[in-house]
Every structure is written in structure tokens, then in C-alpha cells.
Chain A
Amino acid sequence: MARVVVDVVLKPEISDPQGQAVLGALGRLGHDSITSVRQGKHFVLEVDGDPDEAELKQIAETLLANPVIEDVELHLTAD
């Protein structure tokens, strides 16, 4: 069993009101050193047998993320 983690975040040029809201809260709480927050999604996929990286990349880029607005990162970890 392999585990694949896919992180999806909004592209830098797309504004992220959720991240902005968190940043605003941090500022009000006195955490002035935090200058940016981007909120994203974290998927954990469990794969039977050897993971096919190309297939996973395709899944990540066509379903898990919307390439118009989101970037995706793939992390393979063997259990």
C-alpha cells in the first residue's frame, strides 16, 4: 500500500479571501510577523500496488485541482 499526498493551493495571482481572513485574524491576535496566508486543500490517496506517477499526476491536475486557478503538488510516501 502506497500513500500519495496531493496539496492544492490557489495560484499566486488568484486572490484567496479565506487566507486573507486568517491573516487578518492573526494580525488582530498580535502575530505581526506573519505576512501571508494561503489556504489550500490536502488530499491523501491510498493506492494498491505500485503507484503510477503519470496517472496520479493526471488525477491531481484534472480532478483534484482546477488548473485555471489552482496549483498542485504531489508527494509519494511508501508505507
Chain B
Amino acid sequence: MRIGVLTFPGSLDDVDAVRALRLAGAEPVALWHADHDLKDVDAVVLPGGFSYGDYLRAGAIAARAPLMQDVVAKAGGGMPVLGICNGFQVLCEAGLLPGALTRNGHLHFRNRDQALRIERADTAWTSDYETGQRIVVPVKNGEGRYVAADTDLDRLEGEGRVVARYVEGNPNGSSRDIAGVTSADGRVVGLMPHPEHAVEDLTGPSTDGLGFFTSVLQGVLA
């Protein structure tokens, strides 16, 4: 199973995403922002980092990179896409996911081991979890506060598009403790916390994050 990891200038967790995919049993494929070449991948991960320094708005410039046009087009056809942290920001800026990610309420960058509750276990990236399952993965961001107009939030909740919620403390002030959301078809997922940092006992707080990467393998196979 070929899964692309898209590197922008300033991407940082691309090596981690590649490792997580490899450990999950996928074949990671490096993708470069400036190419118009998705290399026949079956799914794409947009990794964390500070693409283009996040100088305009987090993810704003990356969302307009050449390869993102291909990602957007393919996502429209149902290709699974997972955006982690900066990748989530890119997906919102690219219009693939609703809402926006803004400066943390407390204004600090914050890195901690964070408990989440999986709210949807039937998306392309969460099928290996149970609904309501508690997992612990690292969260680390300076602009991770999910916001949207109240009416939009109501609609998202109504449509069941909140994928994961922070529990036991909200690390950044996100509306309604939202840690991740999905597209209407459940194929595109944006997640602020970092499952790719929780895939090995040696280096992570748990191996709870591996499920995101094994889930997509099942979905793509099916």
C-alpha cells in the first residue's frame, strides 16, 4: 500500500510520519510540494511542522502549493488524506475541512502527552479504534485552537464530523474540545495532536497513535 508523505519547505514531522506508516505496514512515498506528481499513491499524509515558517497564517501558503491542487482534486474523488497539526491547518486553509486553527488561548507553544476520546471510529483513518476509546498521544502546537462560527460548530456536531476530542484538559482552548474533524465522506481527517509520535514504546508516551495508520490500510484495501 503506497501512502505519500508531502514535504513542504518547513515540514518537520515528515520523517515521523514516514516511520509511522512503515511500522503500520504501509509503503511510505516521499512527495515534494513543488512537483505535480502524486506518484500513484493510495492516500496522503500532510505532516506537522511550520510550512513556509507559518509566517502568513499557519498552513496558508502550503495550501496553495502546486501538489496541493492535486491532493484537493484526488480527495474530491475519495482519496484518504490525513493532516496532522500543520497538515490540519493546511487542510483547513485549502478548504478540504471546515473551520480554522488559531493561536492557542494561552499564547504559549505547548507540548504534552494528551488524552483524547475517539468520537468517530468509522472514518478512513480511525476504523481500528472503538468509538469512545481513550488514547494518549503527544500534542504540540502554538496555533492549535480550533475555531468556527457557532452555527458551523453546531452543524459539524450534528453531522458527527468531530473525529476526536480532548479529554482531561483542553491544551489550547479549542472550541468544544475539538482535536480533529473529518470531511462529510469520512475520507479526509484533520488532527491537531500527533499520532505519529506515539508508535513506539521507546520514544512515545504510548503506541496508541499507530491505529490511524493501520486504519487507512484496511480502508484502502477494502
Contacts and interface: CB of A to CB of B under 8 A. Distances in A.
Q: In their complex, do chains A and B touch, with some C-beta pair under 8 Å? A: yes
A69 B103 CA distance: 12
A77 interface: no
A21 interface: yes
Contacts, number: 32
B56 A64 contact: yes
Contacts of B103: 17-18
Given A66-B93, A68-B92, A68-B99, A13 B56 contact: no
Interface string B160-177: 000000000000010000
B99 A66 contact: no
A67 B206 CA distance: 38
Interface residues of B, number: 20
Interface string B137-175: 000000000011110000000000000000000000100
Contacts of A64: 56
A72 B32 CA distance: 32
A17 B150 CA distance: 18
Contacts of B93: 66
A78 interface: no
A69 B102 contact: yes
Contact of A17 (B60, B64, B104): B104
A30 to B, nearest CB: 23
Contact of A18 (B98, B107, B148): B107
Given A63-B64, A66-B93, A14 B57 contact: no
Closest 4 CB pairs of A and B: A68-B100, A69-B100, A17-B105, A17-B107
Interface of A: 10, 13-15, 17-18, 21, 63-64, 66, 68-69
Given A17-B105, A63-B60, 9 more contacts: A14-B147, A17-B103, A18-B107, A63-B56, A64-B56, A66-B60, A68-B92, A68-B99, A69-B147
